[in-house]
Chain A
Amino acid sequence: MNVLAQTEVTRETYWGLSSTEYALFYLLATVTILVFLYGVYSRFTRYTAGDDDPFARLDNLASRIVSSTKIVLSNEKQFDRDLYGGLMHAFIMWGFLTLLIATTILFIDGYFWEPFQGSFWVGDFYLAYQFIVDAMGLLFVVGIGMAMYRRYWVRNERLWDRHTSSEDDIFIWTLFALGVGGFLLEGLRIYATGMPDHEIVSFVGWGLALLFQTIGLPVVEGTATDPNYTALGVLGFNAETFHWLAWWSHSLIAFFFIAWIPYAKPFHMLSSFANVVTRDENAGKRLPNVPADLDATNAESIEDFTWKEMLDQDACTKCGRCSSVCPAKASGRPLDPRNVILDLKKYREHRAEGGEQQPIIADGGTSVIDTETMESCMACMACMDACPVEIEHLQSFTRLNRQMTDQGDVDPGMQDVFQNVMQNGNTFGDSQRSRGEWADDLEFDVADAREQEVDYLWYVGDYPSYDDRNKKVARSLATILQEADVSFGILFDDEKYDGNDIRRVGEEFLYVELAGHHVETWDDCEFDKIVCTDPHSYNTFKNEYPEVDFEEFADDPMMPFDYEQRWNKDGEIDVYHWTQAVEELVDERRLELSGTELDYTVTYHDPCHLGRYNDEYEAPREIIKATGCELDEMPRNRADSFCCGGGGGGLWMEFDEEPKPSEERLREALEDTDAGSSIEKFVVACPMCMTMYEDGRKTGGFEDDIEVVDVAELLVEAIDAQEKAGLKIAAAD
């Protein structure tokens, strides 16, 4: 049967096709490509019609493409927190890309090589080609099988929500048909051409051919060697006819798929990649500025969204990873981050089709997004961390929050906070004069950084200054710095609220006012570094203050500051979270610590603003370990940490939630750690977390089971300086 020499093996790609069919095929191919190109063109013209994005997205394009290619090819994002999903997607994507490359090779060979110097798709190359295509094709089909199993059998809840639609079914079934159909086609060809030995390299097709042989599918004699053979000539119950049918259906499905790409879910192959390329490494932790222009709108209409925000919507594959890690959703608050992105997309498409205009965000169900939804967001960035295609939820969410503030749709609790900040300069609405009173119980005096030069300018923060529980943290930290013999000072009544969270809730102008006050005050002080108690302050000082364009507000009579530069433009002032500064001190042995002082079993909760926002996971852990405590991790640690519920204004608003995020997290500490219920202390490194967990401890009934302490409180106990910190009366306990 094998009529060709081993070195010349190849196969006929249009086997059994008449010249009319051949022409028809090319006509369809041309139409398909035109439809595809038009679709892609329309999508991109829509983006270019969108508003400019506030951030550079296309600078260093070459390196952006290289790093994105790495991210995409490795599927690293898909493997994060989900091995099954990672394998599934990797199989499909690698399989698909291999098949795409294989087809491209054939295209090049057929039109640019073979007509001039003869095909290179012969011999060993052909055999290797066939083997790889079969192997990767099999992977492709396995991946699709895994996807279908998860979608239809397990019915993974992530995949089923109000935006799940027939396009998801069509997408996966089309891929399935292409994969399985391709193998059927190959098997029929091998079988009908007499099972040439070398085709055993196409092992899946070979296996199918063996199957056809076993069931005895009829074959027409001589078709394999007849150069004039056409399937139309031998129609009937035979392998040739089945091959012909398989060939055409495979082609038609492929044409449909290609043409459909820009119009539905498969577009993610392009849009998601584009979204990864145009990602902003600082997204979320550094929010965009708003123009000083008072007529600029935030989200009055869908036209206010930037091209990147639209691309975000189109990049979404509805995988639901963001929603599955969202602490607001987990606690029953009415937020589902995926649905927000997709609701916006749906509305945009609805408008493009001439649909009626709706408010983007409002109360009472008449709008695209409900205000309650945005109030629920904790700005913890878990969604963005989980998103495999780099959707920057927080940028869109901030736009919506700013629109709510513009409209006056602000939760009463949050309104009080805004008023307090406006009138008093702090979220408590207390007198600024009493801001430094937390230090009264210390056995030493804290320097006034406005009057003397210090190394560390310590920004204490609202909660450590005014909240009784957190005052203990402030006193602990003051004592630690004092014991380490560090020169430090605070700003007393010139320290106001840092603004991080009210910015996230959308009160941008108030934020600018606060930032202006601080940079102006710092300008008059002599210091090396800024050290923050609160990761929220740390984040905004480090990432956002340097990008505020104060000059734009220079002529504004309502902005009380007098500062026109960019603050810390070149980064000459280091901004630290206190654990980073103190870790250095511990390393330098400036605190008396042997590492055996404490023997508590503890777990540590990564604050969003320190961990996910700023990648600082180890400094607090190193300090905890340096005290001798045994540190046991919760399953959701580091970048997977679960927000306490206090971010994004959550600290100041009331929610109907069950379970409260703080209670759920304390449960995790006591049930899901290795030490389980023997965890004695739940260690935090953020005053807001402290407040939320002290609360969750009471409401969740954990008071007898676990204590909430700050890293600073552990450390001050380890260096035996609690008395000095005014935390216990001599000889007590």
Chain B
Amino acid sequence: MTDILAVTDHRRGELRDVSYETITAGRQLADETGGDLHVAVVSGPVGDFAEKLNREGVDVVHTVEYGEEFNHDVYTQVVTQLYDELAPQYVLAPNSVNGLGYAPAVANALDLPLVTDTVGLETDGETLTATREMYGGKVETANELTGNAVVTIRGAEWAGADGTGDAEIREFHAEIDEDAIRSSVTGFEEVGGGDVDISEADVLVSVGRGIEEEENLELIEELADALDATVSSSRPIVDNGWLPKNRQVGQSGKVVTPDVYIAIGISGAVQHVAGMKGSETIVAINTDPNAPIMDIADYAIHDDLFDVVPALTEEFQ
């Protein structure tokens, strides 16, 4: 009753980074409860996945062979059965789109409390204290519960687990009720693919809401030209149709890791930060010194982009 079950995420043959982060969070909780860390991987090439998931701190990896891709009906059944089998104290899942597709169902099926989108976790073995954000990150709250629970964790809040562990790899024979699978994935589509791959760029000049109007994008394009850099953006710019979808950095866009990321007029919503925090150097140009982007910026200019950008373009012409 002190064990932790961490469920991992993969797509199209690749484990997603958040899987390793879930392991880290799981290990941390297991240390606090004094239990074991069980990791589950469901569907796809589970054998290969299990090898990769055998990181430091993992006690058991449970593999469930069933189909290739994520299906929330399958995951719900498997995780529920694993819970019954292992009786862990906490079930951890990524707060990803897929995680949100089964974790609430699992919690409800098991009649467990659900805490989603946590950014910090702590337990004394009895009481779990989960840190969550509210109002778009303006405040954080401490949420307490006792007993078992299903918890989803926000990506990139925990470091990814590394090293190689000595986990036991165990096949779990779940009994899948085929009749209960009433949804099927028929395909995937890359949206707004195109000529430019922003994830390959060394320097990204990224623009957000602060640009105000579509016409003003010219300023950004001129700068990118002068710097020989690539233009990317935050979600609102793409939602407005000012730039194609393939330019979008963030959770629902691309994850980028350029040498230099220049965020211009971007406030730095968590969904955006998720896509660019891995950049080597982050420069933020924003009039608001309190904008969240400043928290992860290495260099900042608290000034009007309409003044700074042309000056910068000038600098390189």
Contact = CB atoms under 8 A, between A and B. Distances in A.
Q: How large is the interface on B (under 10, 10 to 19, 20 to 34, 35 or more residues)?
A: 10 to 19
B240 A654 contact: yes
User: Max chain A CB contacts within 10 Å: which of B212, B213, B215, B240?
Assistant: B215
Interface in A614-671: 654, 660
A695 interface: yes
Contacts of B218: 699
Interface in B98-140: none
B306 interface: yes
B164 interface: no
A698 B306 CA distance: 8
B259 interface: no
Contacts of A699: 213, 215-216, 218
A600 to B, nearest CB: 23
B207 to A, nearest CB: 15
Contacts of B240: 654
B214 interface: yes
Contacts of B310: 703
A698 B310 CA distance: 10
A435 B105 CA distance: 47
A68 B218 CA distance: 52
Nearest to B218: A699
B250 to A, nearest CB: 20
Nearest to B304: A468
B288 to A, nearest CB: 12
A11 B215 CA distance: 73
Interface in B186-242: 212-216, 218-219, 240
Contacts of A654: 213-214, 240
A467 to B, nearest CB: 12
Contacts of B306: 698
Interface string A700-712: 0001000000000
A659 to B, nearest CB: 10
A703 B215 CA distance: 15
B216 A698 contact: yes
A654 B241 CA distance: 11
Contacts of A660: 215
Contacts of A695: 212-213
A48 to B, nearest CB: 48
Contacts of B215: 660, 699
Nearest to A700: B215
A18 to B, nearest CB: 76
Interface in A379-399: none
A670 B262 CA distance: 35
A436 to B, nearest CB: 21
Contacts of A703: 310
Contacts of B214: 654
A712 to B, nearest CB: 22
Contacts of B219: 698
A363 to B, nearest CB: 16
A638 B8 CA distance: 70
A703 B214 CA distance: 18
A692 B301 CA distance: 26
A423 B286 CA distance: 27
Interface string B38-75: 00000000000000000000000000000000000000
B136 to A, nearest CB: 14
B285 to A, nearest CB: 15
Given A654-B213, A654-B240, 12 more contacts: A654-B214, A660-B215, A695-B212, A695-B213, A698-B216, A698-B219, A698-B306, A699-B213, A699-B215, A699-B216, A699-B218, A703-B310
Interface of B: 212-216, 218-219, 240, 306, 310
In the A-B complex, the 5 residue pairs with the closest CB atoms:
A699-B215, A698-B306, A699-B216, A654-B214, A654-B213
14 contacts: A654-B213, A654-B214, A654-B240, A660-B215, A695-B212, A695-B213, A698-B216, A698-B219, A698-B306, A699-B213, A699-B215, A699-B216, A699-B218, A703-B310
